[in-house]
């Protein structure tokens, strides 16, 4: 499914956090390409810079230097307004803690990206309900997040990340808050509904159980990409990286 | 017409004393009497030793002891007697008065009888009431009185202003009220600000999610303002409603309660300022929020 067209191109990305007492180099010259139709996983120990990298790729954090092109557009060349617009139209998010709005129903939560993109609320909720049906939650469209299990909430979050048909979906630990079986269901769902030839997926994870679902896995350590492995070599990769979990 | 106004001690049925606000009306015209008579007639003041008592005083401070232990005090009524400065006074009427800051019972009698009740002083005359002829220029009349008598003379409005100024300058009422209002404002602003800010902090991640998904600061600002206006309106409605309810519940007590429209406007302005203050703190926090916070555990 992977095409040669690049969804994300990172070159010499550098990001440093200044905590007052010390400077922490979160990204130290990252080079990474992600292709359309690809499911890329970012793995590595805590604090290695995975979250910083997807934040920069998703355009919610500015790098200090280097280049990060998403669909040929460099985030740093966009004005704040255009950055918001580009993000609203092209990026979908799935979070570890689901981050659903607690006072909205499942359908309303899913409808949020559409409303942000200017769709009328009623139409957006109707489209959201259709997508909830696709992720197997048609009967829970009117439920509040607090009335849903963790797995169901993550399915709502996946529906929310897809509803506006974004070209890049960024997932942060989508299965780590779920039990084994639910985690597998969620990643299978994500792979079946989100992976498409006109879309790329980046998943940050510690969860070795889902590595098999990746097209490629980039291993990070100390703000650098250590290596990028295609799935063919992945079983071997998992074994040597038990400490990753 | 002469008018006496002064404080005189009344001896009650049980031998205790109560200071009363005594008004002595012109014997002939009885001008300056109570606005509403509940029992008896104003003219009954001309009966021997006649006094008229206000309803709140009759029910409360001048009331007779309960007839049974633990029972309610018996309100003073027509025919009951009091002693004002060792002189007998017979209740001939019960009146309803506009309530004031002072809580003493109000007793009306004639000017000549008030002279007997009041302790001896060189000049017992408090005021002289003047009724102008129809078409008379009030300002010129006032000036003429000043010129011819050398006394202070005031129009009705000037006298009102004089009274208000007296309370403002010579009593603790404005300071106490001012401090109460100021404290209420400060405490209200602090609590509302803190509560609203806490609400924002609790939902910071949700604001971050919206920002990450492409919601502009302008939209978030409007959301916060809408929430602030909603909370402020509910709070204002509840406050005004409860105040009105309190006033209604206090309508037959000695408490003076007035709720003019100016107070509604004033409190609405106060609530608006508090809401703006509370919203501004939250807005600042949300606008400065980095959307990358959504990926933090």
Share of chain A above pLDDT 90, in %: 62
Number of domains in chain A: 1
Per-residue DSSP letter, B66:
P
ipTM over 0.95: no
Q: Do residues B108 and B81 share a domain?
A: yes
> Is residue A84 included in any domain, yes or no?
yes
Share of chain B above pLDDT 70, in %: 98
Q: Do residues B89 and B143 share a domain?
A: no
Of A84, A99, A172, the CB nearest to B214: A84
Our CA-based measurement puts residue B228 at a distance from the nearest CA of chain A, in whole angstroms, of: 17
Query: What CATH number is given to the structural domain containing A127?
Result: 3.40.50.300
Interval A184-192 mean pLDDT? 84
Of A60, A89, A112, the CB nearest to B292: A60
Our CA-based measurement puts residue B230 at a distance from the nearest CA of chain A, in whole angstroms, of: 16
Number of domains in chain B: 3
Is the predicted pLDDT of residue A56 greater than 90, yes or no?
yes
pLDDT-based confidence at A3, cuts 50/70/90?
A: low
Task: Decide if B210 touches A, using CB distance below 8 A.
Answer: yes
Of B215, B216, B292, the CB nearest to A55: B292
Q: Which two tokens stand for residue B186?
A: 């400060």
d(CA A184, CA A213): 10
pLDDT digits (tens, 9 = 90+) for B157-199: 998 998 888 888 878 788 888 888 888 888 877 887 788 888 8
pLDDT digits (tens, 9 = 90+) for B105-128: 999 999 999 988 887 766 667 788
> Is residue A143 included in any domain, yes or no?
yes
Q: Which of B182, B159, B53 is nearest to B108 (CA)?
A: B53
For residue A68, the enclosing domain spans 6-244
Q: Do residues B65 and B180 share a domain?
A: no
Q: Do residues B214 and B139 share a domain?
A: no
Task: Decide if B215 touches A, using CB distance below 8 A.
Answer: yes
Per-residue DSSP letter, B74:
B
Q: What is the pLDDT of residue B213?
A: 93
For residue B103, the enclosing domain spans 2-129
Q: Do residues B112 and B151 share a domain?
A: no
Task: Decide if B214 touches A, using CB distance below 8 A.
Answer: yes
Please list every residue in chain A whose beta carbon sits closer than 8 Å to the beta carbon of residue B206: 99, 101-102
Q: Which two tokens stand for residue B151?
A: 């006394």
Q: Do residues B190 and B271 share a domain?
A: yes
Q: Do residues B165 and B223 share a domain?
A: no
DSSP B107-164: EEEEHHHHHHHSPP-S----EE---PPTT--HHHHHHHHHHHH-S----HHHHHHHHH
- Tokens 């408490």 identify what position? B255
> Is residue A1 included in any domain, yes or no?
no
Residue of B nearest to A162 (CA): B213
Q: Which residues 6+ apart lie within 8 Å of B83 measured at CB? A: B10, B11, B89
Task: Decide if B140 touches A, using CB distance below 8 A.
Answer: no
Our CA-based measurement puts residue B54 at a distance from the nearest CA of chain A, in whole angstroms, of: 57
Residues within 8 A of A (CB atoms), B 186-205 only: 205
Is the predicted pLDDT of residue A185 greater than 50, yes or no?
yes
Partnered with residue A10 across adjacent β-strands are A32, A68
Q: Do residues B45 and B76 share a domain?
A: yes
> Is residue A142 included in any domain, yes or no?
yes
Task: Decide if B163 touches A, using CB distance below 8 A.
Answer: no
> Is residue A23 included in any domain, yes or no?
yes
Q: Quick one: how far is CA B297 from the chain centroid?
A: 56
Q: Do residues B254 and B290 share a domain?
A: yes
Q: Do residues B187 and B234 share a domain?
A: yes
Q: What is the largest CA-CA distance in chain B?
A: 91
Q: Do residues B197 and B208 share a domain?
A: yes
């Amino acid at each position: 499914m992977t095409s040669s067209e690049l969804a994300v191109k990172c070159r010499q990305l550098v990001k440093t956090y200044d905590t007052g007492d010390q400077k922490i180099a979160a990204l130290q010259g990252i080079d990474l390409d992600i292709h359309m139709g690809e499911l890329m996983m970012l793995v590595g120990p805590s604090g290695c810079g995975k979250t910083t990298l997807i934040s920069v790729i998703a355009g919610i954090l500015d790098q200090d230097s280097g280049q990060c092109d998403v669909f040929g557009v460099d985030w740093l060349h966009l004005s704040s307004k255009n950055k918001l617009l580009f993000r609203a139209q092209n990026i979908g998010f799935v979070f570890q803690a689901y981050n659903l709005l607690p006072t909205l129903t499942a359908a309303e939560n899913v409808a949020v990206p559409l409303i942000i993109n200017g769709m009328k609320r009623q139409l957006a909720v109707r489209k959201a309900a259709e997508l909830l049906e696709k992720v197997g939650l048609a009967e829970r469209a009117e439920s509040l997040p607090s009335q849903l299990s963790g797995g169901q909430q993550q399915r709502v979050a996946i529906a929310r990340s897809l509803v506006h048909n974004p070209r890049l979906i960024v997932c942060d630990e989508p299965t780590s808050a779920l039990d084994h079986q639910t985690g597998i269901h969620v990643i299978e769902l994500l792979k079946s509904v989100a992976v498409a030839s006109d879309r790329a997926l980046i998943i940050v994870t510690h969860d070795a159980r889902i590595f098999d679902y990746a097209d490629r896995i980039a291993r990070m350590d100390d703000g650098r990409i250590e290596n990028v492995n295609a799935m063919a070599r992945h079983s071997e990769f998992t074994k040597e990286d038990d400490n990753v979990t | 017409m002469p008018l006496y106004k002064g404080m005189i001690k009344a001896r009650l049925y049980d031998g205790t004393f109560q200071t009363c606000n005594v008004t002595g009306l012109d014997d002939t015209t009885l001008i300056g009497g109570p606005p509403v008579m509940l029992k008896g007639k104003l003219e009954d003041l001309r009966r021997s030793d006649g006094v008229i008592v206000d309803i709140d005083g009759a029910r409360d401070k001048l009331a007779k002891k309960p007839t049974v232990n633990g029972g309610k005090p018996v309100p003073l009524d027509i025919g009951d007697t009091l002693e004002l400065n060792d002189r007998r006074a017979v209740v001939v009427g019960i009146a309803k008065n506009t309530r004031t800051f002072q809580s003493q019972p109000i007793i009306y009698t004639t000017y000549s009888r008030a002279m007997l009740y009041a302790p001896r002083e060189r000049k017992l005359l408090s005021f002289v009431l003047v009724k102008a002829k129809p078409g008379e220029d009030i300002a010129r009349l006032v000036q003429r009185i000043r010129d011819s008598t050398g006394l202070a003379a005031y129009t009705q409005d000037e006298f009102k202003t004089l009274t208000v100024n007296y309370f403002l300058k010579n009593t603790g009422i404005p300071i106490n009220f001012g401090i109460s209002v100021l404290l209420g404002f400060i405490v209200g602003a602090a609590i509302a600000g803190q509560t609203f800010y806490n609400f924002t902090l609790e939902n910071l991640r949700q604001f971050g999610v919206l920002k990450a998904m492409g919601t502009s600061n302008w939209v978030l600002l409007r959301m916060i303002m809408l929430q602030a206006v909603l909370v402020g309106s509910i709070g204002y409605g509840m406050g005004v409603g409860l105040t009105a309810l309190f006033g209604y519940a206090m309508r037959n007590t000695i408490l003076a309660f007035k709720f003019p429209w100016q107070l509604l406007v004033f409190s609405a302005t106060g609530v608006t300022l508090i809401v703006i203050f509370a919203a501004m703190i939250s807005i600042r926090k949300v606008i400065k929020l980095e959307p990358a916070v959504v990926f933090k555990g």
